[in-house]
A = this chain, B = another copy of it.
Amino acid sequence: MKYEAVTIKDIAKALGLSTSTVSRALRDSYEISTETKKIVIEYAQQINYRPNPIALSLKEKRSRSIGIIVCEIANSFFSQAINGIESIAYDKGYNVIIAQSHESYEREILNLQYLASRSIDGLLISVSSETENLDHLINLHKRGFPIVFFDRVVEDLATHKVGVDNYKGAYDATTELIKNGHQNIAMVAGSEFLSITKERVAGYHQALSDHQIPFDANQIEYCLHGGMLYEEVEKALGKLLYQNTNTPSAVIASADKLTTNCLRYFKSKNLQVPSDIAMIGFSNLDLTDLLSPSLSVIRQPAFEIGQVAIELLIKQIENKRPTTEFEKIILPPQMIIRESSGAKKIR
């Protein structure tokens, strides 16, 4: 079932003009008489003429659409970031095509191929937690294709990058727990491949060290799928809580899904937060205040990250000359202290 749109030809025919005249009249060219312009514009309005963006794309070799690859849109951080992206993209006449990797490297590659074949003008990506090899991105990048990384950035590629100060987030969280009397603090971290994981681990590490607390490698468990799978988190927490010589009294969860699955685990084991085990999690859920105990969180400015990222991308796309100077923008995280990070039980 087709729906026939009116074209410039229809106008030309109806008005006894050539298509070039009509085109020029509509773009308000100086070479067209005011009279003709008026006639054309009025008629175009009357029959509700809209230029065909596909024809324009073909001519101009640009689609005015940009691709986004994230692991999951049903994740508060990413849906908020996408909101930020959209808010700017719309204003600038770009549309966004969203693809989900579901934390799978393979699907990320598939998505990329798909988006490339849809001739997007640029890419916004937060890599999957499985992504270690970057050839798929390097290939595009080498050919001058605009790519901006957000949140999960990749160091080995010279592009614009937008993220949050993960080091500080983890450092602050750890310090807060220490201040509340916790000495054995475990961390449930995301995929080891991700730079954000490394930074968060480093922040945690430094905070311990700054408070003369020895670092125990057994206190960190990595989850390749970033908490997407409950089983993964269950296994990690099992190890941390029950197979350790010094049982932690507090846990830091370093990603949205990890945080919720930690809570789920504690609930299943009937562990009281924070008396049995305290916690702070990275989370952008707007529901953490409703949990009981209410959850202390490190929150990322997701909306702003999205906005900054798309602005950089569009700037690069619309640049005439190849971009050589790339920016790396780091926004501050926000720590919200509530009940879950409280003091440990006094025995």
Binding site for B on A (CB under 8 A): 1-3, 5, 50-55, 57-58, 61-63, 65, 73-74, 76, 79-80, 82-83, 86, 90, 95-100, 114, 116-119, 140, 143-146, 260, 263-264, 267, 285-287, 289-292, 316-317, 319-323
Say whether B58 contacts A55, CB under 8 Å.
yes
Say whether A119 contacts B1, CB under 8 Å.
no
Q: A82-B73, A263-B290 are in contact. Are A2 and B119 (CB under 8 A)?
A: no
Say whether B1 contacts A52, CB under 8 Å.
no
With a cutoff of 8 Å between Cβ atoms, the chain B residues found around residue A323 in the complex are 1
With a cutoff of 8 Å between Cβ atoms, the chain B residues found around residue A2 in the complex are 61-62, 144
Q: Which residue of B lies closest to A76 (CB)?
A: B74
Q: A260-B287, A321-B1 are in contact. Are A117 and B63 (CB under 8 A)?
A: no
Partner of A58, one of B54, B140, B143, B320: B54
Q: A54-B119, A292-B292 are in contact. Are A3 and B143 (CB under 8 A)?
A: yes
With a cutoff of 8 Å between Cβ atoms, the chain B residues found around residue A267 in the complex are 289-290
6 A-B interface contacts by CB (under 8 A) = A1-B320, A50-B116, A73-B79, A86-B99, A260-B287, A267-B290
Say whether B79 contacts A316, CB under 8 Å.
no
Say whether A83 contacts B73, CB under 8 Å.
yes
Oligomeric state, in copies: 2
Highest count of chain B CB atoms <10 Å: which of A116, A119, A143: A119
Say whether A290 contacts B319, CB under 8 Å.
no
Say whether A117 contacts B55, CB under 8 Å.
no
Q: Which residue of B lies closest to A63 (CB)?
A: B54
Q: A58-B55, A96-B98 are in contact. Are A50 and B117 (CB under 8 A)?
A: yes
Q: A79-B73, A119-B53 are in contact. Are A1 and B144 (CB under 8 A)?
A: yes
With a cutoff of 8 Å between Cβ atoms, the chain B residues found around residue A82 in the complex are 73
Q: How far is the CA of A19 from the CA of B285 in the complex (A)?
A: 54
Partner of A80, one of B61, B74, B90, B263: B74
Q: A63-B54, A100-B83 are in contact. Are A118 and B145 (CB under 8 A)?
A: no
Q: How far is the CA of A73 from the CA of B58 in the complex (A)?
A: 31
Q: How far is the CA of A286 from the CA of B260 in the complex (A)?
A: 9
